[in-house]
Structure formats: structure tokens, C-alpha cells
Amino acid sequence: MENRKLKTTSLEVLIDKHIGKKGTKKRDEFENELRLDLVGQAIKQARQERNLTQEQLGELVGVKKAQISKIENSTTDARFETILKVFKALNAKVSFNVELLNEHLIIE
């Protein structure tokens, strides 16, 4: 029997190939969508750990169950204010990391 070595490829290389290189519009859209999905998953996990239904969380926040479902499943562009209210209702600490890119600002 012949020994074959499997060729491995990094996730970064695959994303570059199939979605686009960093800085391209398609890649930026992909990464933004991924971030929104991660926020939705964090909310869902925190809600479940608090033993709350989507309806109960919605009542705490002042929105309907459907809005909580949309946020958890990243099917809506929820307002930043609403997402912060959700995390507050879950008694969850939220921190953001802002990274400035090495690009020049153009002020007109």
C-alpha cells in the first residue's frame, strides 16, 4: 500500500481563496457578518445560562420575542442600543476592542 501525505491548508488561505483577501469588499462583509453571528451566539448562550426564554428576555429588554430570536440568529441589524440593553438584562459585562488601522485619515 502506498503512503500518501495529506496536504494541509490553513483556514486563512482558504478564506483568501474562496472569499477574498483582507481589505476587499467581499472579505470585509464576510468578517462583519461573522462578528454579528458571534454576538448573537454570545447572547443566546448567556440567555440559556440564565435559564431565560427568548420571551422572558424580551420582556426584560422591552422588545418582542421575535426580536430576541432575530438578534440571536443574526437575521437583523439590531440597533447597538438594543444589544447593549440585552447584555444589561443578562447581567453580562460587555467590552469592545477598537483597533485603529495604519491608514491616514482624510479630513475634508
Close Cβ partners of 7 (under 8 Å, ≥ 6 residues apart): none
101/49: higher pLDDT: 49
**pTM here?**
0.65
Give yes or no for a contact between 22 and 30, defined as CB atoms under 8 angstroms apart.
no
Looking at every residue in the chain, the average pLDDT score rounds to 84
According to DSSP, residue 8 is labeled P
78/97: higher pLDDT: 78
Residue ranges covered by each domain of the chain? 11-89
In the numeric block, which cell numbers belong to residue 79? 440597533
How far the first Cα of the chain sits from its last, in Å, is 69
7/72: higher pLDDT: 72
In the numeric block, which cell numbers belong to residue 85? 440593553
According to DSSP, residue 19 is labeled T
CATH number for region 11-89: 1.10.260.40
CA distance 89 to 31: 27
